[in-house]
Chains A and B, each alone.
Chain A
Amino acid sequence: MNDCHPADVAVQKTELRSQGRLPLIALAGQPNMGKSTLFNLLTGLNQHVGNWPGKTIERREGTFHDNGRSLRLIDLPGTYSLTANSPEELIAREFILREQPDLVIAVVSAANLERSLYLVAELISLPTPLVVALNMMDVAEMEGYRIDVDILQAALGVPVVPLVATRAQGVRELLQVVDQVLKGERVLMPRLPEIRADHQQALKDIQNLICGYVPPPYPLEWTALKLLEGDAELTRLMQETLPPERWEAVHDLLRAHDDALLAVASGRYEWINRVMRAAVARPPVGQISLTERLDRWATHPVLGFAILALILGAVFWVTFTLGSPLQAWLETHVVEGLATLAAAGLASAPPWLQSLVVDGIIGGVGSVITFVPILAIFFAAFGLLEDVGYMARAAYVMDNFMHLMGLHGKSFLPLFLGFGCNVPAVMGTRVIDSWSARLVTILIAPFIPCTARMAVVAFLAGAFFGQSATLVSWGLALLSLAMLVLSGVMLNGLLFKGKRSAFIMEMPLYHIPNWRTIALLVWQRTLAFLKKAGTVILGFSMLIWLLSTLPGGELENSFLAMFGKLVEPIGRWMGFDWRLTVALLTSFLAKENAIATLSVVFGSSEEGGLSQILVATYSPAVALSFLTATMLFIPCAATLAAIKQEAGSWRWALVNIALMLALSIGVSSLVFWLAKGWGW
């Protein structure tokens, strides 16, 4: 039962809660405080990345050794507060209250102390021991702040350890303090913030009303405070648990104090300002910071676009000068080498087994492997832009344009990555904080014409349209983008009634990138892709192989061809015969497969011969329609796997398939009849 008259100052007991398990430490902090850098520094590669149960929010857990024992470390999602405004905030506070870690390390930025102490003001009121890691001491010094750590420590009543996580400075000291707190050698006397004076009575009244009814693990005073803050989750919970007449009384009090959120927040900031006045000397007024100077260019409405275009151009340049040769090298040396090796090893095996291994398994897995260089480069570029702080500027510059689709600026960069490959685009949507904007972005990302699709376009447009090939390619890319905007507007209207998520975003200080953080991110993302997409692709690859081989061993008489002939009436709308239909179907495995399939069904292994045969067989109208369908057809298996992973269920992947299937059939039929009418 709750004690209805808690003492004003609580002396925290730090006996280990984790009897028989490893001590558990949680890292908490606002975004852009260098929390991940510290996490990576402590755990290295001893970390596991997954999702929080039932959510698609990244959960990172690791272990590290200190002073002869192992400790578990959980990286809580970056949150500005602990009120249930977002799933991240809910996860962070439920974890602290329910899992009861032995210690919470709050990572704050010395260069942004006032704002970052806000979360500390919340954490310090929870029953878990707290240590403050005062990160970014170097940036603070550069910006002209002078912080007296001892005074800060005394004012907060909990240990404060200065840190430069990017240079691994202060980690030893932090671990020492952690050790002392875990052993109970340091008594914490946290000084708690109070609600603004004009609401203190209301807080007491609510506390008295709910006393005895607050379900564990929620502390009484904290729950009363969260009710005043308008926390939707706890309001719902207390409405369920309280007897109706008590709830009525609480509800009346809350209604009379509907501005209490501001009073609670003001109380916290007054507490912060008291602490700051004692411990921090501010830089002289008028000093222009590096961030301010860079932002004059990066967020300028005209120059900002130019800079964004330059940066994105550079990303592409790197991808093509570095990624494409690597991709080709992997294709010829690794994939084909493996195929030759397998064929030689299976020389005495039955032909179907050879074909299964060489075409089915190695062919499918090969397409995954050859994508790794491009993926890794995109993940690295993305990680770098995020780590230096530019991502927020790109989002700011693109905000107006993205409004057209009911999205905001943060959706732009993930979508842009889609031009290389749709997989990083879908995975990159994690930077979007609102779920509705994120889901819409995931669902429209496959409309971005990726390099694989553009390769098909380049080959066929070159064969059919000669001098106008470039024009046709541009037209097809623009058509895809038009479909993207259209689908975005439509999905936003249908799924979220056109409700726009609020655009409120911190513009973090620019800082020097931490290569360790970026390298780890690339490694984890690539590995996740290989694991999750790899298995899906292997499965689909074998399925398509089976369908194209059985029953007779010839593609022309296979189940796939039968299916192609079965759906030929639909193909006819677009001007396709069964061969084009089958080529389109196999592009599901990987978009560039469309060409490979055509060369198999026309029995021509050499590309020059294939383009001549194709031009002799099909009219330009059919070619244009086929290219349109290829651009808009359902995403490839890898992208689909990524959609399933990021959206959290196959349901959204199916929604995406239905949308793209309908659009590709509809639009390419229209294109076919228009082109035919034009006389092509």
Chain B
Amino acid sequence: MPHETRRSRLSRESAPQNENPSEQLLPLSELESGQQATFVELRGGWGMKGRITSLGFTPGVSILMIQNYGWGPLIVEVRGTRVALGRHEANRILVQRSPS
């Protein structure tokens, strides 16, 4: 996956949005059903970080929104696995929308 290698060279200091100002980061919860995005970063404590990385969320991975009705929990697909996330958790996951 081309995204993966590109992201992996990014160091912590250069925030991804500086790379291309037109590509804005948005919380995962704002992604609509059927849209795809790239995982960029997580704002959260260690506990949650550990849990979501072991479920497959790492920088550069592609996330497909399966179901998001705008309220309540949502379902995404990441690395071939369906994962349900609370809205609160999805708000803390920042992604970059992939061109459709």
Contact = CB atoms under 8 A, between A and B. Distances in A.
B86 A502 contact: yes
B96 to A, nearest CB: 15
B51 interface: yes
Contact of A504 (B46, B60, B79, B86): B86
Nearest to A283: B80
B80 A262 contact: no
A372 B46 CA distance: 44
Contact of A85 (B50, B66, B89): B50
Interface in A239-280: 259, 261-262, 265-266, 269-270, 273
B72 interface: yes
Contacts of B71: 400
Contacts of B48: 502, 504
B49 A118 contact: no
A500 interface: yes
A505 B89 CA distance: 11
A270 B4 CA distance: 9
A230 B50 contact: yes
A399 B46 contact: no
Q: At the interface, is chain B mostly helix, strand, loop or mixed?
A: mixed
A301 B9 contact: no
Contacts of B85: 503-504
A112 to B, nearest CB: 6
A269 B55 contact: no
Given A115-B55, A198-B11, A291-B82, A503 B72 contact: no
Contacts of A292: 66
A295 B75 contact: yes
Interface in A484-513: 500, 502-507
B74 to A, nearest CB: 9
B44 to A, nearest CB: 8
A81 interface: yes
B81 interface: yes
A504 B12 contact: no
A423 interface: no
A266 B80 contact: no
A504 B47 contact: no
Contact of B81 (A266, A396, A500, A506): A506
Interface string B32-66: 00000000000010111111111110111100001
Which of under 10, 10 to 19, 20 to 34, or 35 or more describes the interface residues of B? 35 or more
B83 interface: yes
Contacts of B8: 196-198, 266, 270
Nearest to B50: A85
B73 interface: yes
A331 interface: no
B50 A266 contact: no
A47 B78 CA distance: 36
A259 B89 CA distance: 19
Interface in A281-316: 291-292, 295, 299, 301
A269 B58 contact: yes
A152 to B, nearest CB: 16
A503 B84 contact: yes
Given A266-B59, A507-B82, A261 B53 contact: yes
Given A198-B9, A270-B4, A506 B83 contact: yes
Of B11, B53, B75, B83, most buried by chain A (CB within 10 Å of CB) is: B53
Nearest to A399: B73
Nearest to B76: A507
Interface string A113-131: 1110011000000000000
Interface in A76-93: 80-81, 83, 85
B54 A83 contact: yes
A81 B56 CA distance: 11
A678 B58 CA distance: 64
A500 B72 contact: no
B80 A115 contact: yes
A85 B49 CA distance: 9
B56 A269 contact: yes
Contacts of B49: 230, 261-262
A282 B23 CA distance: 30
A114 B79 contact: yes
Interface in A209-264: 229-230, 232, 259, 261-262
A271 to B, nearest CB: 12
B89 A503 contact: yes
A420 interface: no
A78 to B, nearest CB: 12
A457 interface: no
A409 interface: yes
Interface in A87-106: none
A430 interface: no
B83 to A, nearest CB: 6
Interface-centre pick from A80, A261, A265, A408 (highest chain B CB count, 10 A): A265
A316 B43 CA distance: 43
Contact of A301 (B46, B53, B72): B72
A622 interface: no
Contacts of B82: 291, 295, 506-507
A392 B75 CA distance: 12
Nearest to A268: B58
B51 A502 contact: yes
Contacts of A197: 8
A507 B72 contact: no
Interface string A160-198: 000000000000000000000000000000000000111
A39 to B, nearest CB: 22
A516 B95 CA distance: 43
Given A85-B50, A392-B84, A504-B85, A114 B56 contact: yes
B15 to A, nearest CB: 12
Contacts of B58: 262, 265-266, 269
B83 A504 contact: yes
A396 B59 contact: no
17 contacts: A81-B53, A81-B54, A113-B80, A114-B80, A118-B56, A232-B46, A262-B58, A265-B54, A269-B61, A270-B4, A295-B67, A295-B75, A301-B72, A399-B73, A503-B88, A504-B55, A504-B83
Given A119-B54, A504-B51, 16 more contacts: A80-B55, A113-B80, A114-B56, A115-B81, A118-B54, A198-B8, A261-B46, A261-B49, A266-B58, A301-B69, A396-B73, A400-B71, A400-B72, A502-B88, A504-B52, A506-B55
What 9 pairs between A and B have smallest CB-CB spacing? A503-B86, A81-B54, A80-B54, A507-B82, A85-B50, A265-B53, A114-B79, A115-B81, A400-B72
